[in-house]
Amino acid sequence: MAARKEISAGGVVYRRHEDGALEIQLITDRYGKISLAKGKMEPGETVEQTALREILEETGITGRIADKVDIIAYTYQHAEYGEVDKEVHYYLVEAVDGTLKAQEEEIKGVEWYEPQAAWRRQREGGYDNNDAILRKGLALLNISVQ
């Protein structure tokens, strides 16, 4: 029997201040880990629509897709369905409107960080498979990290 497939989408969300300073949005998920806003695709949505809806729902921020970042694929065990093939599509998303507010049913918190601080937070408290996503997202913004 083929594994069930699940598609999620989310983003490396950034905002630029009038002085040109850049900030990156990170969430603290329900497990207390640093992560990026993302969620499951709903029927009739494109992956881009999913990414923007999930960012809005989880963080209160309306975004605009600036670029594609990458896709993470992995398999996990679901209590009910068994093996699930999961694909997460990440986009570089510019924050265009909204007020930062965590969706408390889903996540513990959301904050803006200067890029190097965001990278440190990810390295210290994030999921390993998000390292490449954040690194690529920052590279698209011409920011390199070690």
pLDDT, tens digit, for every residue of 120-141? Answer: 999 999 999 999 999 999 999 9
Confidence at 6, pLDDT banded by 50, 70, 90? very high
Provide the CB-side half-sphere exposure for 3 (13 A, CA). 14
- Residue 145 inside a domain? The answer is no
Strand partners, 40: 8
Which residues span the domain enclosing 93? 4-140
Residue 50 vs residues 11, 26, 36, 38, 89: alpha-carbon distances, Å: 10, 18, 14, 8, 9
Confidence at 3, pLDDT banded by 50, 70, 90? confident
d(CA 107, CA 60): 12
Single pTM value for the model: 0.93
- Residue 94 inside a domain? The answer is yes
- Residue 88 inside a domain? The answer is yes
Q: Has residue 1 got a pLDDT over 70?
A: no
- Residue 9 inside a domain? The answer is yes
pLDDT, tens digit, for every residue of 25-67? Answer: 999 999 999 999 999 999 999 999 999 999 999 999 999 999 9
What tokens does 124 get?
């210290």
Q: Residue 42: which CATH number? A: 3.90.79.10
**Separate counts of helices (H) and strands (E) for the chain:** 3, 7
- What is the tally of structural domains in the chain? 1
Sign of dihedral through CA atoms 79, 91, 12, 108? negative
- Residue 78 inside a domain? The answer is yes
